[in-house]
Amino acid sequence: MNAVFTAIFLISAALAAAFSPEEFLSSLISGTRHAVSVALTLFCVYAVWMGLAAVAEECGITKKTAKLITPLCRRLFKTTSPAACEAAAMNLTCDLLGAGASTPFAVKAIAEFEKEGNAYGQKMLFLINCAGFQIIPSTVIALRASYGSAAAADIFLPSLICSGATLALSIVLFLLTERIGAAARRNLNGRKRPTAQAETRRRRAKNECAIKGGCKR
């Protein structure tokens, strides 16, 4: 990706310098200034929310919320491991609250799923994290505020509805593909079983012939 972005920048810079050299430098400086402004805005927002998340974690709010959704995690990820269930619950809680500490819990949950051979749980957790469902979309609100939006937080309800619908649809499609894959594997195993049984009978007959001293062809 670094090579792709570098190529895009070099091509754009060459075209701008060739067709509009008088505006190239001013546009470059203006874009840099705006990028730094957005980065500082996001830095401030993340500092506030990560501070609140740290306070919530120290007060035990995050762990209590994780305990509430632990039964859901057992069914959702089809796991019997308490450690995997707790890590997945903490990951989902941090994502819902918009905290910045969800990744370590996701890595731990994936490792615990791998220990018990639960590929289903790994795929489901990866899917939920990719869906990006959040109760408070702090990043989008910060970007809207940095671009001068008069009501930056009015994205809250539409974002909640859209991300919730995306998550629900993703889970439904995932479960559907899992069922289709399981049915295909059963059919494949059903086709292989008669072949394996025929091969077993052939070997058994060959062994009997060898014991008897040969068979007539």
What's residue 37's pLDDT? 83
The closest alpha carbon to 94, from 51, 65, 125, belongs to: 65
For 28-64, what is each residue's pLDDT tens digit?
Answer: 888 888 888 878 877 887 777 777 767 877 887 767 7
For 91-150, what is each residue's pLDDT tens digit?
Answer: 887 777 665 567 788 888 999 999 988 989 999 999 988 887 888 777 777 778 777 888
* Banded model confidence at residue 198, pLDDT cuts 50, 70, 90: low
- 148 φ/ψ angles, rounded to the nearest 5 degrees: 85, 25
| CA–CA separation, 34 and 40 (whole Å) | 10
SS (H, E, C) the chain: CHHHHHHHHHHHHHHHHHHCHHHHHHHHHHHHHHHHHHHHHHHHHHHHHHHHHHHHHHHCHHHHHHHHHHHHHHHHHCCCCHHHHHHHHHHHHHHHHCCCCHHHHHHHHHHHHHHCCCHHHHHHHHHHHHHCCCCCCHHHHHHHHHCCCCCHHHHHHHHHHHHHHHHHHHHHHHHHHHHHHHHHHHHHHHHHHHHHHHHHHHHHHHHHHHHHCCCCC
For 69-81, what is each residue's pLDDT tens digit?
Answer: 888 888 888 888 8
- pLDDT reading at 196 higher than 60: no
CB 113 within 8 A of CB 73: no
Q: Which two tokens stand for residue 143?
A: 């970007």
Lowest mean pLDDT among 1-5, 37-41, 180-184, 198-202: 198-202
Neighbouring C-beta atoms of residue 136, cutoff 10 Å? 17
- pLDDT reading at 155 higher than 50: yes
| CA–CA separation, 155 and 151 (whole Å) | 8
Neighbouring C-beta atoms of residue 139, cutoff 10 Å? 15
Q: How far is CA 12 from CA 6, 9, 17, in A?
A: 10, 5, 8
What's residue 217's pLDDT? 47
- pLDDT reading at 193 higher than 70: no
| CA–CA separation, 91 and 99 (whole Å) | 10
Q: Mean pLDDT, to the nearest integer, of 180-184?
A: 83
- pLDDT reading at 9 higher than 70: yes
